């Protein structure tokens, strides 16, 4: 199954990260599980850039309820990934996040694209809660 990123989305963050030797698998390209880690890194760095504490002591915060990745081309070592994070479709307690991954040296060639549904939750109650106003402002 292939998922397409929506045309209507808002760019909220971008960053680069190195492809590490250990990211490769026996086929000499980046292992598929690492693409999900790259998407996790950009989501968390984005939240940190907004001032969100990610230290395990917060009462509320984001959780991921699903995630996907479409692999367009193979990343190989060495290189640097340029990841761009987009958001769309804010709801009462959730919003969609979308990521494109290119090489810094080829910013227009998408190597992978993916996304995740982010739900704002009360960690103690393990229940979704309304998006805080500051999050809603950023994702709208």
pLDDT tens column, 3-29: 788 889 999 999 999 999 999 999 999
pLDDT at 54: 78
Residue pLDDT, tens place only, 47-56: 999 988 877 7
Q: Is residue 110 part of a domain?
A: yes
Number of structural domains found in the chain: 1
Q: Is residue 4 part of a domain?
A: no
pLDDT at 53: 80
Q: Is residue 91 part of a domain?
A: yes
Q: Is residue 128 within 8 Å of residue 120, measured between CB atoms?
A: yes
* Tokens linked to 131: 């998006």
pLDDT at 57: 77
Q: Which residues contact 114 (CB under 8 A, 6 or more apart)?
A: 3, 35, 36, 39, 67, 68, 69, 70, 98, 99, 101
What is the pTM assigned to this prediction? 0.93
CA distance 138 to 52: 13
Q: Is residue 65 part of a domain?
A: yes
**Element holding 107 (H helix, E strand):** strand 106-122
Structural domain range at position 82: 10-139
CA distance 64 to 120: 9
Residue pLDDT, tens place only, 75-124: 999 999 999 999 999 999 999 999 999 999 999 999 999 999 999 999 99
CATH of the domain at 37: 3.10.129.10
Q: Is residue 70 part of a domain?
A: yes
pLDDT at 1: 63
């Amino acid at each position: 199954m292939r998922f397409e990123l929506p045309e209507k989305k808002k760019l909220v963050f971008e960053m680069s990260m190195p492809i590490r030797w250990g990211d490769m698998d026996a086929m000499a390209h980046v292992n598929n599980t690492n693409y999900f880690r790259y998407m996790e890194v950009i989501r968390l760095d984005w939240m940190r850039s907004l001032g969100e504490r990610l230290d395990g002591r917060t009462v509320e915060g984001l959780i991921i309820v699903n995630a996907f990745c479409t692999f367009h081309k193979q990343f190989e070592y060495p290189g640097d990934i340029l990841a761009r994070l987009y958001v769309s479709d804010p709801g009462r307690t959730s919003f969609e996040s979308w990521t494109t991954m290119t090489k810094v040296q080829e910013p227009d060639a998408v190597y992978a694209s993916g996304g995740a549904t982010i739900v704002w939750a009360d960690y103690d109650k393990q229940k979704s809660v309304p998006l805080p106003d500051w999050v809603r402002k950023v994702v709208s």
